[in-house]
Each structure stands twice: as C-alpha cells, then as structure tokens.
Structure 1
Amino acid sequence: MAVGLGAATAITVVPQAAYAQAYSFTTVDVQGNQRVEVGTILSYARITPGQRVSAGELNDAYQRILGSGLFESVELVPQGNTLVVRVVEYPTVNRIAFEGNKRIKDEDLATIVQSQTRRVFSPRVAEDDAQKISEAYVQQGRLAARVTPKVIRRKDNRIDLVFEIFEGGVSEVERIGFVGNTVYSDRRLRRVIDTKQAGILRAIIKKDTFIEDRVAFDKQLLNDFYMARGYVDFRITGVNGELAQERDGYFVTFNVEEGQQFRVGQVTVNSDLPDVDVDRFQRAIKLRSGVVYSPTRVETEIARLEKLAVREGLNFVRVDPRVDRNDRDLTLDVSFDLVRGPRIFVERIDIEGNTTTVDRVIRRQFDTVEGDPFNPRAIRESAERIRALGFFKNVDVNAKEGSTPQQVVVDVNVEEQPTGSLSFGASYSSTGGFGATASFSERNFLGRGQALSFQISSASATKNYGFSFVEPAVFGQDLALGVTVNYSETNNLGSDYDTTSGLFRPFVEFPVSDNGRLQLRYTAGVSEIAAGGSLTGGIIEQEATLGRRVDSSLGYTYTWDTKRAGLSPNNRTLIEFGQDFGGLGGDTNFVKTSAKAVAQTKVWSEEVTLRATVEGGALSYSKGLSRVTDRYQIQPSLMRGFEYGGIGPREVDAAGNSDPLGGNYYAVAKFEAEFPIGLPEEYGISGGLFYDMGSVWGVNSGVSPAPGNTVISSGFDLRHVVGFSVFWDSALGPLRLDFSEPLKKQKQDEAKNFNLTISTQF
C-alpha cells in the first residue's frame, strides 16, 4: 500500500503531570527495535537506572531519540519504576524507482538523489531528493514540473521508494525586452545575451527556455558588452521575469542605464622605484589618447608592462592602474603606477581532474613555474588560456597560501569534455555529382594537446584522401609543428581530362609579434594530367604530354590579425602574404606569390557589418611551364557569380566550344554588407548585399592552341558582379545563399546565379 511521507509522525506519550514532577526508574525497557541496538537507543536517551529525571528531561530524551533519524515513531511511557521506550524503526529501502520521466533518464536521476538501496529510509532525505529532481527540471526550463516521493510497503520492514514525476511543459521565453537603452537597439542587445526568444526552431534551439542561472550570466554579458565600448557607468537596475498565466512562457525585461561613452585621455607611467626607467616603460605603451576606453585595452597594457619588467630583471614589480574621470570632456586619464609588490613565490602548481589530458598540456599554459615570483594577473591569464584550449568543460584556477606566508600554491581543477568527432555524410553538387564523406578529427590526441584528422571523400567526379597532424607546442614553446598529406583524383570538375595529384607538406608556425605569426613550410608534390579525346584545344593536350611532374618548394606565410589581441569589438583587420619558391630538387623552378587583406567594421549601432576583401596571386616559372592544374581558377567562394573556372583564359574553337585554361595571375576585390532584414532574430536569418570584381589572366607562351583555335581573355579584364545574400543559422550549421548577377562579363564566361555554401566567420 502506498502512503504519503507526511503521515509517519508519532506523538510522545507522557504522563499528564505538572512540569515539576520528577521520576526515578530502576529499569529501562526498550521495545520494537530490530536493527538498532538497545545501547544505541539508551545513548540517545541519556537516562540511566536510578537517575531522577523531570518531565522536561523526559521530553528531551524523546526528542533526541526521534531526532536520530532512525525511527518512524517513538513513545516514552513511565510504568511505575520502569520506563518503557517503544520505537518503530524506519524501513530499509529495497528499491528506488522513477515514474513519469521522459526528458531525464533514470540513470541521470539516480546520480542526483541521496537515498540509497539497502539503507535506512529517511523521509527528510527523500523530500530533499524530490526537490533536487525538480531543480534539474527547472534547469531545462520546465518550471511546472512536480515530483512526489511515494513509499510502497514490503514485508520484513522494507519499502520501495518511488518518485512520481510530472515533467510539465517547457516555460519558453516568449519575449525579451530592454528598457532604458538608447544607443543600442533591443535587437542588438538580444544578440549579446545567451537567452533567446522562442521561435520556429524552438524544438532545436535549447536556449529559449527560462533559466535563472542563465539570466544571471546574461547580466554579466551585457555588462561586458557595454564596458568594452566605453560605457563605464552602465548598470542593470533590475530584471523582471513575468510568467504567463498558463505557466508555459516568460516575458523577460532588462532595465538598464547606459550612461555616457568615455574615451581615453592622457596615458602616463609613474614609479618611485629607483631601478625603473620610466621613459622606457612610457615608450612601450601602445594605448593612445582618443580611442574608446575599454578594460581590455588597459589589461593588455598592464600585461605588456609587467612582461617588460621581467625582461629588465625587475622582480616583484607590479602595475597598478589608476583611472581618473574627466566628466567635462568624457575622457578617462589612465596612469600606470609601477610599484614593488609583496615578495611571494609560487611553491607549486597542482593539477587535478585531468584523466586524459597529460599535465604538461595544462602546465605549459602558465608563464609561471615553481619558484617564480607570484603574479596574480599572470595566473588569471593562464586560466583563460586553459579555457581557450577547448578541452575542458570547467576550469577553476585558485591560489592559496603555501607552506609559508611567502609562498602560494596554485590549484588547477578541470573537468574534461569530448574533443573528438567521427562523421559520415553525403553530398550532391552540380559539378561533382553525388558523393560520400567520412572524417575523423581529434583536437586532443592521446591527451597531448595534438590535433589529428583524416578525411576520405568520394564522388562521381572526384576522390580525395587527406591527413593532417599538428603538435602545437614543440619543446613546450609556442611553436607549432605539423604535416599535411593529401592525395586526389579528379576529372577537374567535369572537364575532358583527368588529374592525379599528391602532396606532402611539413610546416612550423610561431608568433613574431602580438598580432603576427609566421609559417615556414616545405612542399613536395606530384601531379599528372591525362587528356581525353574530346578536348577542344591543344594547350591542355600539350601540357598532358609533359607526363608526371614533381614539384619541390620552400615557402612562408606571414599573417597579421588584430583579432589575436581582441582590442576592438567592432573592427578587425587581417593581412596575409606568402610565397613559395620551387626548384629544390624538383622538375620546375617557380615563384608563387599570394596576398590577402580583409577589413571589417560594424556601423549603425553595430546593426550592420561592412567587410572589404582584396586578394591576388602571381605564378612565375623560370624552368618548366605552368599547367592547368597549377594555374589559378576562379571558384564561387573566391568570386561570386561564376562557375568554377568560369572566367579567365580559354581556348576556343571555330564552333565556340572552349576549355578553361586558368591564369598565372588573379586579382579579386569584394565588398559586402550584412544586416538584419526585419525577421525575429531567434530565426537566425539575416541578409546581405555584395559587389565583387576580379580577373584571371596570363597563360604560357611556350605552348600554342590547336590549328584554327584561339586563346581569349588572356589579358587583364575586370568582371563585375552584384547580388544579395541570405544568412541562416540553421540546425545544420550556418548556411549562406548567394543570388548574383554579372554586370560585366565576356562572351565565353560561365555565370552562376545561385550558390549555397557553409558560411564562415571572418
């Protein structure tokens, strides 16, 4: 028979006597106990034979026995010189079960509850377990969930404990609003916070449920957003969450005060320490007056100055920032004071929780080692680098006092998460036909922080096999060492010739400045062209007669990216320049040069993203000739509006048939804007406009077209394309749909008015 837990309370039976009445018992008779020893019960009662006790002391004994949590009911009955103690023991839990749960599995709920089988049943613990289960459902946004513990009596004083669960529906966030914001719109601020509004994808998007912990995190995100943009007086005066009458939806309102935007005023370095060259530190400052104030900029300067102090041999020098307001001109003067910090050393660094990742992967994120001066800011930066690895779900880094007050111990506690993926897929394209892909990647291979991946893809037009491996920290330094191996067979995306190519490329990469990195590489490649019988011209056929060719080259690429410093939330600049020099034992001598520059900014209260890209390449041979597999071919991802190889030099016969040859040079400029189109942002759909122009030109002079054929578009001739894009953050990933129309093109160019790709973030 199932009964509620609240019905198991007993009442003490004591004589109806005055409180001054006293008792003296020569014996104590304990009845009803089966598992609990008599001595244990008497130890709770604290009554010995011959002891005189008052009615109040008798009641205290009752409370102590009942408060032990071992008995369902307790009675103390004086019978002459005998005190009878009658107890009913709590039953033993025979089985714990969950009923009505679908969203949370039994095994997950079992880890939440404290009640255990083969242990004494406790109503208080069972009620606590029910509350914890309810809280687990609240974290999923199911505020109407109810959990009721029930007991089913079995023989031999055993019970089955059953938690009856009513999960209820999800309490979705129907609307998120802001009050008090004038600089940034509600739409922009909704993109900042983690909580989202319920939309058509509510079955897939799990962030549209109302969770109090998430709202608290949203408040921190909003504060960081405004502070990074100079609004130092920003504050949230309150968050109102109104639950709909049906308890299935929330209306959340953030009340904010934005304040004024401040910029950086004077920037100075001060120090009273005799061994500090203030001018040397002043020259190292890169923070300039007039820029928007950001705590991130100040933290970056502090880190730069403290690293300079270490290089100058100035131990225990700390940088204390002092910020003075100038409300009249809305500026903040920043003064960096170099002071002598306490002489505290790092005794040791303890790492716990890493069951797969080896200690050195975590330890190398610290610039500090045992015995170094303790720098709290350096420890915080190390913690951020550990989180940025992406290997751990949670990372806690704390410092505590060591064996002496002059030493600290840094405790690192991590919780690992999966870092590998195995995927299978199918695809279709108009150029490559149907295809299948299998790939494996592991970002923390064998727990060593290494990246390993391989991919196999096959379609009717192409076959590709790839492998890559990267060791990110050779000798524990910020020096990446990797290798890429690739083999492919293709008919060049539908043309009348086949290609076979293989590539082996080891490389090293390392930083050369705060924003700059340099990659050095060696590339060995082998390629072969097999011409078909239906080629239009003779140039590709002549290139195919060259047979298998081996290329060997040394190269470098320099990358300068302002995103690495993260100083501006709205602006980013990327510059890449690279060259490969062929002739190191191969069949050819060549120089291949590529360059790319990208600039991005956000305008109109960050509602619109503007982006400009300029890139180009040049291929020059001093021994041998370039072939169609070496020359540049325009792709839709490089310039929209045209098919693969749709522009550039072509060999054309009298009937108008042509073969794309590719070019030794290319140049492309792209300009685009991305903006909201009025749909609710929870749909994840935005729009864009773009304007592209580019050209591919230049062919070899050592080969000639077939008799009667001509080579067209061999010179520089810009094509112009306009179009619009639709961006969709779908359940399959970020998709981009481009609709384009060439404004200027050549007769033989092959236009492509629609293209669907996976969107990439710059």
Structure 2
Amino acid sequence: MKTVMRRTLLALTLALVLFAPAVAQAADAMKVAIFPFHVFSREPLTDLRDDVQKMLRDKLNTMGVTVIPLDEVNQALAAEGKPLDLTLARKVAGRLGADFAITGSITKIGSRVSLDAKTLDVLGMQRPQSAFVEGSGLDSIATLTDRIARELAVQVSGREKVSTIEISGNRRIESDAIKAVLKTKEGGVFSPILIDDDLKAIWKLGYFDDVKIATADSPKGKVVTIAVKEKPAVREVKFEGNEEIDTKDLQDQIGLKRFAVYKPAAVKEAEQKIVQMYRDKGYYDVKVTSQVINLPKGDLGIKFTIVEGEKVYVSKIELRGNKAFSESELKEVMSTGEKGWLSWFKDDHVMEWAKLEQDVQKLNDFYYNHGYMSARVGKPEITRGKDGLILTINIEEGPRFKVSTVGISGQLIIPQKDLEAMIKTKPGDWYNREQLRLDLATLHELYANRGFAYVEVRPQVRQNMKEHTVALDFQVTKGAKIYFDRIVISGNTRTRDKVIRRELGMAEGDLFSATAIRSANMRLHRLNFFEDITITPTKGADPDTMDVNIKVKEKRTGQVSFGAGYSTQDSFMIMGQLSESNLFGRGQQVQFRATLGGLTNRFTLSFTEPWLFDRPISFGVDLYNWDREYIQYTKNATGGNLRWGFPTPLAYTRFYLWYTYEQATVSDVDSNADYYIKSQEGTYTTSAFKGILRRDTRDATFNTTKGSDNNISVQWAGPPLGGTNAFTKIIANSGWYFPMWWDTVFVLHGQLGWLDQHSDGELPIYEKFFLGGINTLRGFAYQSVSPMDANGDLIGGERMFVANVELRFPLFRKAGLTGVVFYDTGNSWTSAQGYDFGDLRQSVGVGIRWMSPMGPLRLEYGYVLDQQPYDDLSAFEFTVGGLF
C-alpha cells in the first residue's frame, strides 16, 4: 500500500514538473471579452459606452492581458438580440473563446461619476468578482478607467497586485520623476518582466551610478523597493584667465549648468565651445583645460583654465584652381577677408568657422550662377603662418554651360508666349541657378495668385556634356482651382474680429491668392497689436476650397513713456507720452505728448480712426499748444488739425488732407531788430487746407538702407477759409537710398519750396523759409540761412532749395554705429530774387548715427565752404532722445 502511495506521489510530482510551464503559459494567455457598459444618467452620455470600452481595452493590453477585438464582441452581442445580463455575457464570451467576461455600468449623479465592473469566469469555476471606483466630473473618466483596469487585470490573471513602490537614495531627483518612467504601478499587476523593463528605464534616465530593485510580500500585495545612487552634481562652474570674454557669456554658451548631473563628455564639449568662442574672436591659439574639484556632500566643481594667447587674424587667402575668375573677384564674394589697412572698417579678418562655411557656399553659388554647373569648392585648409592664418581653398571649376533652349509645358493658363516673356532666363544666357529659382517662383506666383494653390512647377534640366549646353523645360501641373472657404480667427481676446478682417484684403469665396495671404500677414504685423501672428491655410470642406486659420496672440498696446534728450537746436528736453493704439479693441489710437525744454514747450492731444465708417480712410484730430523761442522772437501757438488719409491705386502711395486752425502770437521781438521784424509782433490766425501726396518705400525710418521717400504738399490759407493769414505754400521732398559695397549706403535728398502771399491777408515771418541746422544745411547755425534786409536782420524767404548728399558706412556693426560723410548745399530767397541756383551755400562734414537706449542719436560736424562775415566757420551739432 505504501509502495502504491509512493508511486502515486511520484507521478503527481512528475506531472507538476512537466506541466507547470504549460499551466503558467495558459494562465498568461487568458483572454477577456469586454462588453459595453450600461450608462445611468439624466444627461445624454451614450458616447461613453464606446469610450470606456476602448479605454479598458487599451489599459488591459498594456498590462499584458489579451482582449478579444471589440468589434467581434459587439457584433456577437447584437446577433443575440437580447439585453445584456451575466448569463448572456458568459455565453457570448465563451463562444468567442474568452476565459473571462467583463461587464459594468457608468453612473453620473450631479458631478459624481462612478464605474462599477464585474469579472465573470466563463466556466463558472470562480464566483464573480467586483470592482468599483468613483470620481468627480466627466474629466475624471480616464483616471477612473485606469484605476479600475488595474483591479480587473489582477482578477483575470490571478497575479499579485503591487501594493507599494518605495524609492530611496534619491536626493535631487524627485521620486515622482522616477515613478513616471515605471511600467509597474501601485495597484497594478506585479510582473517580473515589467520589473526588468523598469530597471532599464531608470538606468536610461542617466542620473544614477547604481540602481537596485527588490520585492517583498505584504498582506496587501507586493512591495517594490527601488534603491538608487545618484551621480554627483556640478555645484560650481568657475573660469580662470578669461579677460576678453565675460564670465556670464561663457556660462551662457557652454551649456554646463549648476546642479546638473556630472558627465565627462559634457565637460569636454564645454571645453570645445570655449575654444570656438575665442577663435571666433580671433584668438586662434587659445588653450582650455578643465579640472574636476571634489566638494562636500559628494558634489563636484568644474574649473576651466583659459590661456587666451594673442589675437591671430587671417593674413592670407589662397584660392587654387580658379581660372575663369580672378582671386580679387572671388574674394569680393566672401565675407571673410584678409587683414589690411581697411580691417578696422570692414571687420572681416577674424576667422569664424560659421562664416567660413557660408563663404564656401557663396563661392559655390557664384560659380553655379555663372554657368559652372559642375563646379566644386573644397573645405578650407587652415595653416598657421608667420603673420597669421592662411586659408587655402581648392576649386574645381569644370566646363561652363550655356542655355540652349527654354520651354514651358503642361497646363498653361495664359498664352505660352506671355509665359515665356515672364521668364528671365533666355537661350544664349549662361546657366544661372539663382535666376532659375526666381523663374520658378514667378511661375508659381502667377498660378497661385489665380487660384491654383497646389500648382507644381518642375524644371527639367538636360545637360549636353559634349557641347556644354543645357536645355530647360518648366513643366507645369496646375491642379484644381481653389477658393477661400472659411477664414477662422482665434486668440483675439481684445481686438474685434472686424479690425482684423478689414486688414486681410481677402474674404470668404474669393479665389485663392498666395500674395493675398502674405499681404494680410504683413498688414496684421504692421498694426502692432499682436505678439505673434500665424496664418495657416488648410484644406476646406470641399476639394476645391481652402480654409485660412489666423491665430494671434494679443499684446499690451497702452504705453506710458518718458524720455530725455538734447539737441543744439532745442537745448535740453524732457518728453513724455501716454498712448493707446488699440482703444477698446477697435483699432483707434489716442495719444497725449508733452515736451518741456529750454527753448521749446509742446503739448499735443491726438485721436486717430484708421478706418472711417469701416472704409480704408483714416481720420484724425489734433489739439496743440506750442511755445518756441527763435533767434529774433518767440512764438506761442494754439490750434488743431483735422486729418484724413486716402489710399490710391499706386503701391506704397497715400493721399493726405489736413485742415489746420491756429492762433499764434509773436512776442519778445529783439529790441535791436529793424522795422520789419518789429512789425511782426502781434496775433495771427491761420485757417488752411493742406494736401499731401506721399510714396514711401523705405525699409526703415532711421538708418535707412534702401528705398525712397517722395512727397509733395500744397497748403492754402486765407479766403474763403477765414483767418488773418493768406498764403500758398508748396514743398516737394525727395529722398533716395542706394545700397552699395561693404554695406555702405549712398543717399540723395532734395527739397524745393515755394511760398506766395495773397493780397487779402498776412504772411507772418514764422511761415517763411529759414535754413541751417542739423535737418537742412549742416555747419550753418539753426535758421541762419535766409534773405536779409538792409539792417542785416534775417527776414525769411519765399523760395527755398536744399540738396543733401551722404555716404553712410558701418563703423561698428555689432553696436549698430553708422558713420556719415556729407555734402549739403542750398539757400532761401525772396520772391523778388526768385530761385538763384548760382547763389547756393555749401558745407561738408562727417557724423555718426546710433539708435541709442535714449532714442536716435545724431552727432555731426559741418564745415562751411563759402563762409560769409556773419557765418561761423563750422558747427558741431548733436541731437539725441526720444520716447522709449
């Protein structure tokens, strides 16, 4: 009997040993069928049925539970045609090959939301198990689903639950940051496989020298303990020997921050960055070493020792292999230059890798744009010479290619001859890659502006290596014609929609136009109401439509500013401004300005409506009170302006109309003045209209580099407008800016004035033309160039001409300092004298311009070429200050 029992036990033991893996595998392969949850709520929450079912599936899958596809479960349940209960759930799940069925309900009462689930053993060998979670608001559904999924995973797998995760050894790295990378979760299923993944994930963070994970049993499940040993932190970063580069600049650039984890590779990288920073400043021989210093509590300090050496410049640039172009022609293309007598001015002789890499690309482009399609420019070789660095650049020019034919094929929307006329590349031209790009852009722009948003223009370039020619064919696929559907504006919490829409120049239903989108972006930026503007075209509801999404970020448009300034014309000034450029979100502008100075006091209150009656017509009102001390008298004026601005069909051109009403008093007349000047003492009233036609294409209002500014104004005062003053004043202004070599700018400016008194009114002296000073004829005293009477008093002119010629050049690019050399000429005459261009005063001089923190600065010295006895030989003039 005992023998039989021994044999039976042995057989059972062998069976367990042999079949245990299979049993474990079967347990791991448990399949689950998740059924839609019932919803109990007064609100229509039917979408939650599918949402919770899908979220449970996704959560259980991540926990290693195999879930029957939801479509199969839902179709099998629908085929039964009966309400779901526990019996039906077991039946359907069993038919689908599932081991367990999960059913449940969603209940929402007020703000409370709960999930109630049951796990059903299909074979009925286990009693149903329940799980319940509760939260607040529908936003908690995802969190609740995650919590209940962990309970269900434990129930269907029969595995142990993780009760607690404990982390030790971490001082700087938060425990939550470590837990965030773990797959093992408190309340979730315990799995050795997940523990192994967690170990790898913690190592991957890169913060630790050692990581150990241990597990222990507890009445509530497994306790997972993670012990880490943190890598030392960099507590101090010091620099020694740096004189040319500020410590803060070094700290900002090397990327090695305090309290960061110490990484030897990061320290070596910091060394290289410091070396590069010095080499970019010309210190090519710089040496940088680092030292690691042990600090208390296991932290480290990093000390960089810098031996700067002497500045080393590019002494010579050698170009090898160039035959078609001389060295001087190619060096003009490059930003890097050789040290010479103009180095202080050009500042191009410092060797910078980034700039040198751009030079290689510039040389490549230069060759490609002159027909050399196979040219190759090699990487510069740098050697140390006696007087500095020698750069050697090898060039393989290859043959030069000429354009043999130019064609346009595909879907044409205008006659081919008109398209070909738009293309600048012509047969017989040398191949030019840049011009080819411009031609592609021209064709693309033409189609895109006629509604073909998805046009494709592909150049086919066929080389003939034997004849060294290239045939070009622009192949056009226009695509469908597209119309603007919806224009959606978002982010404008203050600015009204119509203020934005009226600037767009496009509307729903318009034909698509790429230029319209770019112009809208430019006009919205010009408003200066927004920190950021993003215009994104997206596909519309129909294939032939496109939506335009405009997202803006509002910025503060109110401003309170104060400033100070000084000029040789106005002496010391204190200025203040209170303004709002987007009043009530309507785009209206209101402004109060005040200037208090030694010679001038000005107060101005202005209001501007940029779109009168929602039309592109501006309207404004100014009220002012000005006091000004002139050489021979003082003027006090109180008045106002009404302003209108109208668009014109001409690009960059507007017409302005002003009406001015002013009452001015001339007082404190010089006691030594003659009868005419003394006769001007008194009160005058001006009622006048002024029309201004202006075209302005300048790229900037201060330190302009290109474009022009041209305007002509005509002012009429007197009957039938009323007032004591009666005159006509015409002033024409023209300024042209031409960019030249070495970032210099050549400037031509001219001004012509004509003034005529009407017989039925006065022409006060302050309306006449006086020249001299920093804004007209430099070198002459302010308003000192004027016709004189027999007593030598300045009486002002009715005719005026000024011409200014300038050459502007960069002095210190990084500081934004610009130098000026100028020649001024001009004069003013009485109406009886007329324009006498043989009688022009002249001056020359130099100056500097700088956009300083206090506002635009001009410092100029003028020398009079045709000095008269009453003239100073020269004048130093200075003006700085503005609102900031």
**Which bracket does the TM-score occupy, shorter chain normalised?**
0.5 to 0.7
3-state SS in 2 of match to 1:482: strand
3-state SS in 1 of match to 2:793: strand
- Which aligned pairs between 1:504-543 and structure 2 lie closer than 5 A? 504-532=641-669, 534-543=671-680
**Alignment match, 1:194:** none
**Alignment match, 1:63:** 196
How far did residue 279 of structure 1 move? Answer: 8.5
Identify the match of residue 717 of structure 2 among 562, 578, 582. Answer: 582
Residues 557 and 579 of structure 1 are in contact (CA less than 8 Å); yes or no, is this contact kept in structure 2?
yes
**Alignment match, 2:863:** 741
Structure number with greater CO (CA < 8 Å, separation at least 6) is 1
> Are residue 618 (structure 1) and residue 754 (structure 2) matched?
yes
Residues 665 and 697 of structure 1 are in contact (CA less than 8 Å); yes or no, is this contact kept in structure 2?
yes
How far did residue 42 of structure 1 move? Answer: 6.8
How far did residue 577 of structure 1 move? Answer: 1.6
3-state SS in 1 of match to 2:752: strand
The code of the aligned residue for 1:650 comes to M
Highest Rg: 1 or 2?
2
> Are residue 408 (structure 1) and residue 546 (structure 2) matched?
yes
3-state SS in 1 of match to 2:550: strand
How far did residue 142 of structure 1 move? Answer: 9.4
Residues 722 and 741 of structure 1 are in contact (CA less than 8 Å); yes or no, is this contact kept in structure 2?
yes
Identify the match of residue 729 of structure 1 among 808, 833, 850. Answer: 850
Residues 800 and 835 of structure 2 are in contact (CA less than 8 Å); yes or no, is this contact kept in structure 1?
no
Residues 843 and 865 of structure 2 are in contact (CA less than 8 Å); yes or no, is this contact kept in structure 1?
yes
Residue 755 to residue 315, structure 1, CA distance change in 2 (3 Å): same
Residues 316 and 373 of structure 1 are in contact (CA less than 8 Å); yes or no, is this contact kept in structure 2?
no
Q: Distance in 2 between matches of 1:28 and 1:317?
A: 59
- Which aligned pairs between 1:587-598 and structure 2 lie closer than 5 A? 587=723, 588-598=725-735
- Which aligned pairs between 1:28-47 and structure 2 lie closer than 5 A? 33=165, 40-41=185-186, 43-46=188-191
Residues 440 and 457 of structure 2 are in contact (CA less than 8 Å); yes or no, is this contact kept in structure 1?
no
- Which aligned pairs between 1:367-446 and structure 2 lie closer than 5 A? 367-417=505-555, 421-446=559-584
Structure (1/2) with the larger helix percentage: 2
Residue 394 to residue 650, structure 1, CA distance change in 2 (3 Å): same
> Are residue 560 (structure 1) and residue 692 (structure 2) matched?
no
**Alignment match, 2:620:** 482
How far did residue 415 of structure 1 move? Answer: 4.2
3-state SS in 2 of match to 1:379: helix
The code of the aligned residue for 1:45 comes to F
- Which aligned pairs between 1:105-120 and structure 2 lie closer than 5 A? none
3-state SS in 1 of match to 2:766: coil
Identify the match of residue 820 of structure 2 among 688, 691, 703. Answer: 688
Q: Distance in 2 between matches of 1:601 and 1:331?
A: 36
3-state SS in 2 of match to 1:618: strand
Q: Distance in 1 between matches of 2:396 and 2:656?
A: 44
Identify the match of residue 632 of structure 1 among 759, 764, 769. Answer: 769
Q: Distance in 2 between matches of 1:334 and 1:757?
A: 57
Residue 43 to residue 501, structure 1, CA distance change in 2 (3 Å): closer
Residues 233 and 258 of structure 1 are in contact (CA less than 8 Å); yes or no, is this contact kept in structure 2?
no
3-state SS in 2 of match to 1:666: strand
- Which aligned pairs between 1:232-247 and structure 2 lie closer than 5 A? none
Q: Distance in 2 between matches of 1:529 and 1:744?
A: 32
Spell out, residue by residue over 1:705-753, the C-alpha distance to the aligned partner (whole angstroms, 9 max, x if none). Answer: xxxxxxx999876343232313243644553332222222443346652
How far did residue 420 of structure 1 move? Answer: 5.3
- Which aligned pairs between 1:620-699 and structure 2 lie closer than 5 A? 620-622=756-758, 623-636=760-773, 637-651=775-789, 653=791, 658-675=792-809, 681-682=813-814, 684-698=816-830
Residue 264 to residue 521, structure 1, CA distance change in 2 (3 Å): farther
3-state SS in 1 of match to 2:678: helix
Spell out, residue by residue over 1:526-562, the C-alpha distance to the aligned partner (whole angstroms, 9 max, x if none). Answer: 22212446141111222224x2323222x22222345
How far did residue 318 of structure 1 move? Answer: 7.0
The code of the aligned residue for 2:864 comes to P
Spell out, residue by residue over 1:103-127, the C-alpha distance to the aligned partner (whole angstroms, 9 max, x if none). Answer: 79xxx9xxxx9xxxxxxxxx9x999
Residues 516 and 561 of structure 1 are in contact (CA less than 8 Å); yes or no, is this contact kept in structure 2?
yes
How far did residue 380 of structure 1 move? Answer: 4.0
Q: Distance in 2 between matches of 1:498 and 1:672?
A: 33
Residue 188 to residue 754, structure 1, CA distance change in 2 (3 Å): farther
Identity rate, percent: 20
Residue 450 to residue 696, structure 1, CA distance change in 2 (3 Å): same
Residues 287 and 301 of structure 1 are in contact (CA less than 8 Å); yes or no, is this contact kept in structure 2?
no
Q: Distance in 1 between matches of 2:583 and 2:184?
A: 59
Unpaired runs of 5+ residues, structure 2, are: 1-18, 25-157, 168-178, 239-246, 279-287, 320-326, 338-343, 383-388
Residues 687 and 724 of structure 1 are in contact (CA less than 8 Å); yes or no, is this contact kept in structure 2?
no
How far did residue 616 of structure 1 move? Answer: 1.1
The code of the aligned residue for 2:846 comes to S
The code of the aligned residue for 1:43 comes to G
Spell out, residue by residue over 1:445-472, the C-alpha distance to the aligned partner (whole angstroms, 9 max, x if none). Answer: 5554445433211123221112344444
Identify the match of residue 879 of structure 2 among 729, 752, 757. Answer: 757
Structure (1/2) with the larger strand percentage: 1
Q: Distance in 2 between matches of 1:476 and 1:556?
A: 23
3-state SS in 2 of match to 1:641: coil
Residue 386 to residue 714, structure 1, CA distance change in 2 (3 Å): closer
Provide the TM-score with structure 2 as the length reference: 0.55
* Greater shift in the superposed pair: 61-70 or 362-371: 61-70
Q: Distance in 1 between matches of 2:771 and 2:458?
A: 52
Q: Distance in 1 between matches of 2:436 and 2:590?
A: 37
Residue 286 to residue 464, structure 1, CA distance change in 2 (3 Å): farther
How far did residue 342 of structure 1 move? Answer: 1.0
**Alignment match, 1:203:** none
Residues 691 and 720 of structure 1 are in contact (CA less than 8 Å); yes or no, is this contact kept in structure 2?
no
Equivalent residue pairs, number: 646
Q: Distance in 2 between matches of 1:65 and 1:400?
A: 42
Residue 62 to residue 306, structure 1, CA distance change in 2 (3 Å): closer
Residues 407 and 473 of structure 2 are in contact (CA less than 8 Å); yes or no, is this contact kept in structure 1?
yes
The code of the aligned residue for 2:195 comes to Y
Coordinate RMSD, CA, aligned? 6.7
Q: Distance in 2 between matches of 1:317 and 1:612?
A: 44
Q: Distance in 2 between matches of 1:755 and 1:331?
A: 61
> Are residue 342 (structure 1) and residue 487 (structure 2) matched?
no
The code of the aligned residue for 2:793 comes to D
Residues 237 and 302 of structure 2 are in contact (CA less than 8 Å); yes or no, is this contact kept in structure 1?
yes
Q: Distance in 1 between matches of 2:684 and 2:800?
A: 26
Residue 730 to residue 618, structure 1, CA distance change in 2 (3 Å): closer
Q: Distance in 1 between matches of 2:868 and 2:404?
A: 55
The code of the aligned residue for 2:693 comes to Y
Q: Distance in 1 between matches of 2:588 and 2:405?
A: 45
Provide the TM-score with structure 1 as the length reference: 0.63
Q: Distance in 1 between matches of 2:304 and 2:611?
A: 48
**Alignment match, 1:718:** 839
How far did residue 371 of structure 1 move? Answer: 2.9
How far did residue 88 of structure 1 move? Answer: 4.2
Q: Distance in 2 between matches of 1:632 and 1:188?
A: 49
Residue 402 to residue 256, structure 1, CA distance change in 2 (3 Å): farther
3-state SS in 2 of match to 1:650: coil
Q: Distance in 2 between matches of 1:241 and 1:478?
A: 59
The code of the aligned residue for 1:581 comes to W
Residue 268 to residue 482, structure 1, CA distance change in 2 (3 Å): farther
Q: Distance in 2 between matches of 1:635 and 1:754?
A: 12
Q: Distance in 2 between matches of 1:429 and 1:550?
A: 29
Residues 236 and 254 of structure 1 are in contact (CA less than 8 Å); yes or no, is this contact kept in structure 2?
no
How far did residue 175 of structure 1 move? Answer: 9.3
The code of the aligned residue for 1:436 comes to I
How far did residue 668 of structure 1 move? Answer: 1.1
The code of the aligned residue for 1:424 comes to F
